[in-house]
Structure 1
Amino acid sequence: MLARDDSPALKRTPLHALHLARGGKMVPFAGYDMPVQYAPGVLKEHLHTRASAGLFDVSHMGQIELRARSGRLDDAAQALETLVPQDIVALARGRQRYAQFTNDSGGILDDLMVTNLGDRLFLVVNAACKTEDEAHLRAHMSATCEITALPGRALLALQGPKAEAALAKFCADVVALKFMDVAELTLMDLPCVVSRSGYTGEDGFEISVPADGAEAFAQALLDRPGVQPIGLGARDSLRLEAGLCLYGHDIDPTTTPVEAGLSWSIQKSRRSGGARPGGFLGADAILAQLDAGATRKRVGLRPEGRAPVREGAPLYAGADTTDAIGSVTSGGFGPSLNAPVAMGYLPASQAAIDSLVFAEVRGQRLPLRVAAMPFVTNTYKR
């Protein structure tokens, strides 16, 4: 993480005062002053989320609504399908779908969540990309859609096996939600958009809440048994154990969804031979890779020793070979496994499970095995 920066240019989320009151160690992240950890530390916060419930402030992320000028949701869905390879038209009301904005060459401009709220589409995009994402939407969809950014809303993630019990105290309806279900609910007299989802591999919820009520609502959640505030450090280690991509690290404009192992997110209707094949930016490249396979692949990696292998470490086929065949894109210690884990890219021909590769770390070659992901079993409520 970057060093502390008190520059007034750093933005603050609606929970900034709460983070300070709770002893959060603040660092710059995507232009915001954010808590990387609290007093317990990253390892304990990670394990607490896996065992109980962790509350994360993700208000720095972008929230955007799309409404068709015609008033027909299908028109908004069809317009969005020109920018993502996913089937948005078939997305049912009250359901959410993982998607990617792609460029002309098939690379990923950002990954996002898309929700059908009946009269509009609701998007959650990454903090570092939200300005560019909004501009991208306006450049391609303004003729057909009203595009509204929602800076007046905060976003909280409540994750872990006790998340349901904690949130149900405020609205019993959350119990009926299954993974990737979304509902507009009133919590503490606040109009909220609640999705049963998250980025930790655990069961849990993401809650869009009006900014002016976010601190009181977060405090009420933290008053529930088993709920603790969790910083960005543990959020990163949790998503790494879950085998989930981090934009700007594991995926970027030079990486296609197929190379990134995200083919599962592209429905048959958008593929060759489907009901609505192609029609999105980069379709030729992505459809060709879906049909013939990509030449490289994102893989899970398990170092054979105890030393973590960090982002940027080059990967080699042998302990003495001279030419790198790939690189690590995310790496660190997995507290749930009590062992290091990593992700990276390798040629498809060398990406089979249990293949041996070597990472160069401080002038030494360390052995790693290609491993299946997720590293820790997901516990989503299906």
Structure 2
Amino acid sequence: MHVAAGARMVPFAGYDMPVQYATGVMREHLHTRQKAGLFDVSHMGQVELHPKDGTVETAMRALETLVPVSILALKSGRQRYALFTDENGGILDDLMVANRGDHLFLVVNAACKADDIAHLEKHLGESCEVRVRDDRALLALQGPKAADVLTALDPAIADMVFMDVRDANLAGISAIVSRSGYTGEDGFEISVAASDAPGLAQRLLENEDGAWIGLGARDSLRLEAGLCLYGNDITKATTPVEASLEWAIQKPRRTGGERAGGFPGADIILKQLDDGAPRRRVGLKPEGRAPVRDGASLFAEAEGGEPIGRVTSGGFGPSVDGPIAMGLVPTETSDAGTKLYAEVRGKRLPVVISPLPFVTQTYKR
């Protein structure tokens, strides 16, 4: 389907993925911001945690030993952003966790999928059955018209709010639908049987507001929304606090909470929550028109001195109509409005620390 739609395919995390279609990244990006973009994200890992004693609370308590997130507070039909951490407080992966009533449903990153599954089986295998759903595809429908496009197939979808998860009947196709995504726009992620994916995609594309969107626009959309890309903005060398993701660590898991700690790297992460981290993820706006890419060194001065940080993601923001980036900088130089310099092809270009996100998020609350 992708090739027939004019997609340029590239290798990504062991998969052959559409990076863009005939219209190009810029138009695909703006289409998503204005209408409804359809993304094939079937490379992501879909995993179910089934408690062996039949009590979903068992799976929730078990998962809390691997993430600094309050899973026990997650009500049936709701999902939450989470992080796998290691003994040094580093991030092994970021993921989504949904409470499906009798089990937990996880969506993990493609590049980390095999390691995440092994991690779950090693640490939770005694209490939970880890079921990898390689038989399911995953589509994401994102943008201000996404709800209209999807409710045309199942009117009950209209009642969902951000981070709701439910079963749906999409014109005869059984699906698990969450009102979520990674573009900053209102939208949905749709898990279906692999055999049903082409038919569902075709139905969504028949709507005049629907269009295929590739990896290129997916990256520029998430960057404008200030969202992290694993392997760039967050890695094993980055703690949740350094990544400015402390909002994802709820009060019960923090110092003084009834379930404080108990996850890998808790001592380091909790100390940083209390005392601060040595560096922070920040937004960066180059002052010119030249994009600043990931890996560029950041300096405090236009000339001389050693690098004080680095760019972790960067590119052109079509909705912002200019270059944007994110980077890690020392906490003492992380205030909005601070001017730094990014080294690009041997020259230092001025960049200004900017609040995130670069575009207003439009989730349905």
Aligned partner of 1:4 in structure 2 is none
Q: CA separation in 1, counterparts of 2:143 and 2:168? A: 21
| 1:44 partnered with 2:27 | yes
Aligned with residue 136 of structure 2, among 148, 153, 156: 153
Aligned partner of 2:340 in structure 1 is 357
Aligned with residue 368 of structure 1, among 338, 341, 351: 351
Shift of 1:225: 1.9
| Unaligned residue ranges in structure 1 (runs of 5+) | 1-17
Pairs within 5 Å for 1:294-333: 294-333=277-316
Amino acid at match of 2:45: G
Shift of 1:191: 2.1
Amino acid at match of 1:259: E
Aligned with residue 111 of structure 2, among 124, 128, 132: 128
Shift of 1:169: 1.0
Aligned with residue 201 of structure 2, among 215, 218, 237: 218
| 1:345 partnered with 2:328 | yes
Deviation digits for residues 117-153 of structure 1 (CA, Å, limit 9, x no counterpart): 0011000000001111000000000000010000000
TM-score, normalised by the number of residues in structure 1: 0.95
Q: CA separation in 2, counterparts of 1:321 and 1:171? A: 61
Aligned with residue 219 of structure 2, among 236, 242, 266: 236
Shift of 1:46: 0.2
Amino acid at match of 1:255: T
Pairs within 5 Å for 1:95-110: 95-110=78-93
Q: CA separation in 2, counterparts of 1:216 and 1:291? A: 51
Q: CA separation in 2, counterparts of 1:182 and 1:96? A: 7
Shift of 1:322: 2.2
Q: CA separation in 2, counterparts of 1:147 and 1:78? A: 15
Aligned partner of 2:72 in structure 1 is 89
Pairs within 5 Å for 1:47-196: 47-196=30-179
Q: CA separation in 1, counterparts of 2:277 and 2:226? A: 19
Runs of 4+ in 1 over 3 A off after TM superposition: none
Shift of 1:185: 1.4
Amino acid at match of 1:49: T
Deviation digits for residues 169-193 of structure 1 (CA, Å, limit 9, x no counterpart): 1101110000001101122322211
Deviation digits for residues 275-316 of structure 1 (CA, Å, limit 9, x no counterpart): 100000110110000010001000000000000000000000
Q: CA separation in 2, counterparts of 1:256 and 1:361? A: 27
Q: CA separation in 1, counterparts of 2:258 and 2:170? A: 40
Aligned partner of 1:12 in structure 2 is none
Amino acid at match of 2:87: D
Aligned partner of 1:267 in structure 2 is 250
Amino acid at match of 1:20: V
Deviation digits for residues 205-264 of structure 1 (CA, Å, limit 9, x no counterpart): 000010001001101100012111000000000000000000000000010001000000
**Secondary structure at 2:3 match in 1:** helix
Q: CA separation in 2, counterparts of 1:203 and 1:186? A: 20
Q: CA separation in 2, counterparts of 1:238 and 1:28? A: 20
Tell me how many residue pairs correspond in the alignment: 365
| 1:246 partnered with 2:229 | yes
Aligned partner of 2:269 in structure 1 is 286
**Secondary structure at 2:2 match in 1:** helix
RMSD between aligned residues: 0.5
Amino acid at match of 2:28: E
Q: CA separation in 2, counterparts of 1:105 and 1:284? A: 9
Q: CA separation in 2, counterparts of 1:49 and 1:321? A: 42
Aligned partner of 1:13 in structure 2 is none
Deviation digits for residues 92-114 of structure 1 (CA, Å, limit 9, x no counterpart): 11101000000000100000000
**Secondary structure at 1:261 match in 2:** coil
Identity of counterpart residues, as a percentage?
62
Q: CA separation in 1, counterparts of 2:7 and 2:319? A: 23
Q: CA separation in 2, counterparts of 1:85 and 1:192? A: 29
Deviation digits for residues 13-47 of structure 1 (CA, Å, limit 9, x no counterpart): xxxxx101101000001110000000110000000
Amino acid at match of 2:78: R
Aligned with residue 31 of structure 1, among 5, 8, 14: 14
Q: CA separation in 2, counterparts of 1:149 and 1:321? A: 52
**Secondary structure at 2:18 match in 1:** strand
**Secondary structure at 1:285 match in 2:** helix
